[in-house]
Amino acid sequence: MRKKIVAGNWKCNTTVKEGVELAKSVNELVLTRGAKDVVVVLGTPFTHLNSVAESVDRNRIQIASQNCAAESKGAFTGEVSVSMIQSTGANYVILGHSERREYYNETSEILNKKLALILEQGLIPIYCCGEALTIREAGTQNEFVKQQLDETIFYLTEEQLLKIVIAYEPIWAIGTGKTATTQQAQDMLAYIRGLIAAKYSKSVAEEISILYGGSCSASNANELFSQPDIDGGLIGGASLKAEDFLSIINGY
Ligand code: PEP
């Protein structure tokens, strides 16, 4: 059975001290009141990974970086490699977030290099995809998302694909307070699962966790997570408040 996952993406927020306090609060709430069958992931800035990893119960909370270098090591000033990330205790990498694609020109070619390194090192990529508002308004969101997948994760072998998590995040819903309707989210996730079934097999498609992200909150998580193809959420703003994040985790 595929995993239910709720992953926080803290983005460029919190100092290390604030991040550790937030992680400790989430840890306490998850241990005492959290849904037991949900995988909880904290996506912190690079600088926080190790301290956060050491301040939570690793049987219950997983740690993600929000990016990684496209090279394994060497003269790439300012970059953070997958093995460095792994050495902090983190075991997930959020990859291809629309903010990185848009502001840092992350192309499919770059994402493929990163994907290969993450999988080689045994970490789990949370691969993000999703369309801009103009594309949604033109009604071509399915074609757009299919192209993103065709250019990246659909190059993976079946064995590799089974190791990844996919997050569908319509750009128009990220940080805007404008969530996709439950039907829009379910339709896209079912579409992605159908693409996987056609390209690989139905059993592979049934194994892969696909998350929804975009203004997911304590008030809409329950409805979103009730859908058959929505296996959890990638959570931005609401992951910065421990109680809100817990409510989303308990949205199942
Ligand atoms: C995100 O950035 O991945 C995200 C889903 O943000 P928010 O929940 O704030 O819309």
| Residue of the CA atom closest to atom 7 of ligand 1 | 236
Pocket of ligand 1 (CB under 6 A): 9, 169, 174-175, 213-216, 234-238
* Residue 190 Cα to ligand 1 middle (Å): 21
Give the C-alpha distances (Å, rounded to integers) separating 236 from 94, 99, 101.
12, 12, 16
Q: How far is the CA of 229 from the centre of ligand 1 (A)?
A: 19
- Spatial CB neighbours of 187, under 8 Å, sequence gap ≥ 6: none
Residue to mutate, 5, 93, 235, 241, ligand 1, most ligand atoms under 8 Å from C-beta? 235
Set 18, 54, 97, 151: catalytic member:
97
For a mutational test of ligand 1's pocket, the pick from 97, 211, 216, i.e. the residue with the most ligand atoms closer than 8 A to its C-beta, is: 216
What does the pLDDT profile of the chain (252 residues) look like in tens digits? 899 999 999 999 999 999 999 999 999 999 999 999 999 999 999 999 999 999 999 999 999 999 999 999 999 999 999 999 999 999 999 999 999 999 999 999 999 999 999 999 999 999 999 999 999 999 999 999 999 999 999 999 999 999 999 999 999 999 887 778 999 999 999 999 999 999 999 999 999 999 999 999 999 999 999 999 999 999 999 999 999 999 999 997
User: Any idea which fold 4-249 has?
Assistant: TIM Barrel (3.20.20)
Point out which residues pair with 153 in neighbouring strands: none
Q: What local confidence, expressed as pLDDT, does residue 175 receive?
A: 83
Q: CA of 147: how far to CAs of 94, 204, 221, in Å?
A: 19, 20, 28
- pLDDT at residue 179, rounded to an integer: 79
| Minimum CA distance residue for ligand 1 atom 8 | 236
- Residue 125 is predicted with a pLDDT of 98
Q: Which two tokens stand for residue 236?
A: 């931005």
Pairing of strands 232-235, 4-9: parallel
Minimum-distance ligand 1 atom for the alpha carbon of 94: 3
- Per the CB < 8 A criterion, the answer to whether 62 and 91 are in contact is yes
What pTM, to 2 d.p., does this model score?
A: 0.97
Give pairs for 228-232: CB < 8 Å, separation 24+. 228/186, 228/190, 229/186, 229/189, 229/190, 229/193, 230/185, 230/186, 230/189, 231/2, 231/3, 231/4, 231/5, 232/3, 232/4, 232/5, 232/6, 232/7, 232/38, 232/39
Residue 174 CA: nearest ligand 1 atom is 10
169 is catalytic: yes
How many A from CA of 168 to the centre of ligand 1? Answer: 11
Give the residue, by CA position, lying nearest to ligand 1 atom 4. 236
pLDDT value of position 252: 78
48 is catalytic: no
Q: Which residues contact 143 (CB under 8 A, 6 or more apart)?
A: none
Q: Which atom of ligand 1 is nearest to the CA of 238?
A: 8
Token pair 């998590």: residue: 165
Render 137-187 in DSSP notation, one character per residue: HHT-HHHHHHHHHHHTGGGS-HHHHTT-EEEE--GGGTTSS-PPPHHHHHH
